[in-house]
Each structure stands twice: as C-alpha cells, then as structure tokens.
C-alpha cells in the first residue's frame, strides 16, 4: 500500500496507481474509443474498457471518436484524475463506422470470424458464448486497421452487443401512414415498423425482408413488432402469360406455363383444368378464399388461351434472325430464346400470331409470351429419326403423305 493515511490527495493517488497496475505492463492496445473532458484533461474512453491519458492528442477535442494503437504504460502517474493508465501512442486514425446486423460465425483456419449478411468478414473482440455456425446479431464499431492473424477479414468489430438473430421475415405488403409514422402492413398479416424505407413512401407496394422483433418498443401503436436490418424493394411486377387453372387449398389457382402457382384476384368463374391467358400484377393484394400465402396476381384479366401454340422443334439461323423451326416444318419468330442457341432442340409454348409483321423470313408467324424449354424426351421424335429412308413402297399412300408433311425440311 503506497499511503497509510487517508487524505484527499493520498487516496486519489492510491486509487489511480492501483487501477493502473490492473493493465499488463507493456501491453499493446488497438481499439476505438471516445474522448471525454475531465478536469481540463482529454481522457480516452476505450470501447474495450479503461480510461487512458494519451501522450499526444494533436488537434483532438471532446467527443471525437478515434482509433488508437499504442503501448500501455503501467508505471505512469496520469495528470488527469479520471485516467487509469497512460498510452504511448503509435498511430491515431479516425474510428470506423458503426455496424449493426445479422450474420454467421464461421471457422476460418484458426479463426472464428463473423460473416455479415450485408457483406464483409470481421474478427470480433468478444463472442458472447456463441460458436461456429451460430446466427448472431452484432452491434459495434468497425476497426479496419486492427492487427489480427486472420488475413481473410475486413478488420475487427469492437462489439457493444451480440445476440441470437431473430426470426427471418419476408413478405409483400403496403406502406401506410399512422400518426407521424410510416408503417408496413404485411399481406401475411401484421403491422410493423421498419429500420429503413429507402425511397419508398406511403401507398407503395413493397417486399420487405429482415429480422422480426416482436419485443421492440412501438413507435406509433398499435404495432405487432419491428422488422430490423430490413431490405425493401418494389413488390409489383407485371405478369402476362398462359397456364392452367388448378385446384388449390380452398380455391382455384393459376399454374403458369412459365413457372409458379398463383392465387388470382379474379378467376372469371372458370373451372379447374381450363387453359387461360392471364395479365395482372404479381405481389398485389387479393381477396379470395385461398388458404395459402403464395403470391397473388392482382387486378388481373382472364380469358381463354386463344391461338395457343405448343410445338417441338429446333432453333435455326435464319437470314436475319434466329428462328424456331417446328417439327411440322413451319418457322416462327419467338419473343425470347430463354438463353438457348442455334441447334438446340426445344419445346415452345405461347400465343400464335399469324398476322405479325417481321423482317425475318418466316412461314408460320410469331409466337408471343413464349416459353422455351429443353426437349427432355416428351417431344415426338425429331424428323431425322421419325422419317422413313427405305421401304417407302411398303407404306400406304395416305400414310406416306402424312409422313411427307411431318418430315418436310
């Protein structure tokens, strides 16, 4: 004990030296923190704990956040009463930005690192008892200049909190005004506050994904919770295409030829099995009897699929365009090739327009709103394998005419 008497000055010096001794002699410190003003002195309050007097503070002021690298001097007698030790500064730099978000703890060599959902991999200064594979919600300060042996990272995070990630949420819905707040009303049910609206405004139809927090404090009650760390984008896209009406859970649904099964705002009173052509907005709000959360096509029109085209054939190079040459011999211009190239044997569905105007030399017309899929064996045999090459004399004349029509080049 340095002082046996209890006096104002003696007690203060005893406490200061005792706390200073809690630091490891010659320890390197590498952390962010904030300056506070105490008794006319600037004291560095480290995010990792401790209050320090720096041997240099060039141009720094109260409330500045700074990244400090240096050596702790445990033998110092700080002139600032609030400081518990001194730091011989090696480098001073602006502190990293604040981070808050979910991610996964992953093993990388000898390091357990935090892989953020928003991008970036960081070394955490504390793990809170979590281990490899755990989904965690981390808040803290980015420190890109930290020294660590994990070379695949974007730096370190000085952690202020680490918790298990909440329930992941995704849904379309509408932004509404309630009091002074803009809230999100999800199609799947519930009204929530969001971390960010981006550039969207009340009345917009949006798709929100994020972490569902049912314990957050309501901003403009009544609310069912918050969706934190959310992304937000437009939910409305136009759908145009044919498909089949199928029986869904409690309702008639639409199975699109292009993929996906949708609830419809309007089924037109048509029955299951009917081939229909639908236009509308996917992600819109539907009022129907479907016991499902599947995407809805709202404000839709529905009619019988007229001039429906379903043919097998191959893609060929025409004079001006890539064409679809059906096994029947006719050639067609397609709205899209779906990534297929000349020579591919494919199955095409769509709406046939025999009156279209095209610069391509075609004999059959245009196929609009088409799908193109690979021939997986469901198509009839191609002409090369279906057409006779010998023994024509053994085939009746009607059958020979049929084959000629089917096998014409």
Percent of the chain with pLDDT over 90: 12
Q: What is the pLDDT of residues 39-50, one digit of tens each?
A: 788 899 988 888
Average pLDDT of the segment spanning 305-334: 89
Structure token digits, residue 203: 């009345």
**Residue range 306-325: mean pLDDT, rounded:** 88
Same fold, 8-94 and 237-304: yes
Q: What are phi and psi of 221, to 5 degrees?
A: -65, 160
From CA 262, how far away is CA 241, in angstroms rounded? 12
pLDDT for residue 315: 94
Of the given ranges (129-133, 166-170, 190-194, 378-382), which has the lowest mean pLDDT? 378-382
Task: Read off the pLDDT of residues 357-405 as tens digits, 9 standing for 90 and up.
Answer: 888 878 788 998 788 888 877 676 544 433 333 333 333 334 334 333 3
**Token pair recorded at residue 330:** 């006719």
The mean predicted confidence, pLDDT, of the chain is 77
- Helix, strand, coil shares of the chain, percent, nearest 5, are 10, 50, 45
Q: Which helix (H) or strand (E) holds 78?
A: none
Cβ contacts of 119 within 8 Å, gap of 6 or more: none
* Residue 233: pLDDT over 50: yes
Q: Where are the domains of the chain?
A: 8-94, 98-164, 170-234, 237-304
Name the nearest CA neighbour of 151 among 113, 105, 117: 113
pLDDT at 201: 92
Instruction: Cis check for the bond before 218: say yes or no (omega within 30 of 0).
Output: no
List the alpha helices (DSSP H) in 331-388: 383-386
Residue 380 has what pLDDT?
60
Which residue has better confidence, 239 or 331? 331
Pick the CATH number of 237-304 from 3.30.700, 3.60.21, 2.40.50, 2.10.25: 2.40.50
Q: Which of 119-133, 170-184, 217-231, 293-307 has the lowest mean pLDDT?
A: 293-307
In the CATH hierarchy, which top-level class contains the domain 8-94? mainly beta
Which CATH class name applies to 98-164?
Answer: mainly beta
Instruction: Read off the pLDDT of residues 62-112 as tens digits, 9 standing for 90 and up.
Output: 777 888 888 998 778 888 888 888 999 987 877 767 788 888 898 888 889
Most confident of 10-24, 99-113, 156-170, 289-303: 99-113
In angstroms, rounded to a whole number, what is the distance separating the alpha carbons of residues 233 and 200?
8
N residues, the chain: 409
pLDDT band at 8 (very low <50, low <70, confident <90, very high): very low
Per-residue model confidence (pLDDT) at position 284: 56
**CATH code, residues 170-234:** 2.40.50
Comparing C-alpha atoms, which of 286, 297, 187 is closest to residue 239?
Answer: 297
For 260, counting Cβ atoms within 10 Å of its Cβ (0-12 exposed, 13-18 middle, 19+ buried), the class is: middle
List all residues 6 or more positions away from 275 whose beta carbon is below 8 Å from its beta carbon. 242, 243, 244, 304, 305, 308
334 pLDDT tier (thresholds 50, 70, 90) = very high
DSSP structure string for 241-257: EEEEEEEETTEEEEEET
Confidence of residue 25 (pLDDT cuts 50, 70, 90): low
């Amino acid at each position: 004990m340095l002082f046996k008497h209890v006096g104002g000055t003696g007690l203060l010096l005893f406490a200061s030296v005792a706390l200073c001794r809690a630091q490891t002699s010659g320890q390197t410190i590498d952390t962010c923190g904030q300056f506070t003003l105490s008794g006319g002195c600037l004291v560095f309050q480290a995010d990792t704990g401790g209050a320090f007097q720096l041997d240099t503070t060039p141009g720094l002021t109260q409330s500045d956040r700074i990244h400090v690298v240096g050596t702790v001097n445990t033998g110092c007698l700080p002139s600032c009463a609030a400081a518990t030790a001194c730091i011989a500064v090696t480098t001073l730099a602006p502190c990293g930005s604040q981070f808050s978000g979910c991610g996964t703890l992953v093993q990388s060599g000898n390091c357990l690192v935090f892989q953020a959902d928003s991008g970036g991999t960081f070394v955490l200064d504390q793990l809170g008892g979590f281990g490899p594979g755990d989904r965690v919600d981390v808040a803290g300060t980015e420190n890109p200049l930290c020294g660590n042996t994990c070379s695949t990272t974007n730096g370190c995070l000085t952690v202020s909190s680490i918790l298990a990630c909440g329930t992941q949420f995704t849904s379309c819905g509408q932004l509404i005004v309630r009091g002074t707040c803009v809230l999100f009303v999800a199609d799947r049910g519930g009204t929530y506050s969001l971390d960010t609206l981006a550039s969207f405004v009340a009345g917009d139809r949006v798709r929100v994904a994020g972490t569902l927090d049912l314990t957050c404090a309501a901003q403009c009650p009544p609310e069912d919770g918050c969706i934190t760390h959310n992304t937000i984008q437009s939910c409305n896209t136009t759908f145009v295409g044919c498909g089949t009406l199928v029986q869904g859970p409690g309702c008639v649904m639409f199975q699109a030829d292009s993929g996906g099964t949708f609830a419809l705002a309007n089924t037109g009173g048509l029955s299951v099995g009917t081939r229909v052509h639908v236009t509308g907005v996917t992600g819109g709000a539907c009022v129907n009897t479907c016991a499902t959360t599947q995407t809805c096509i709202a404000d839709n029109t529905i009619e019988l699929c007229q001039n429906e085209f379903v043919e097998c054939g191959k893609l060929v190079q025409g004079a001006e365009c890539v064409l679809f040459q059906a096994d029947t011999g006719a050639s067609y211009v397609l709205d899209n090739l779906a990534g297929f190239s000349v020579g591919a044997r494919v199955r095409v569905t769509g709406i046939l327009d025999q009156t279209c105007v095209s610069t391509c030399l075609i004999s059959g017309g245009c196929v609009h709103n088409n799908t193109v899929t690979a021939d997986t064996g469901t198509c009839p045999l191609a002409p090369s394998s279906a057409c006779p090459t010998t023994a024509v004399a053994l085939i009746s004349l009607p059958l020979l005419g049929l084959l000629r029509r089917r096998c014409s080049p």
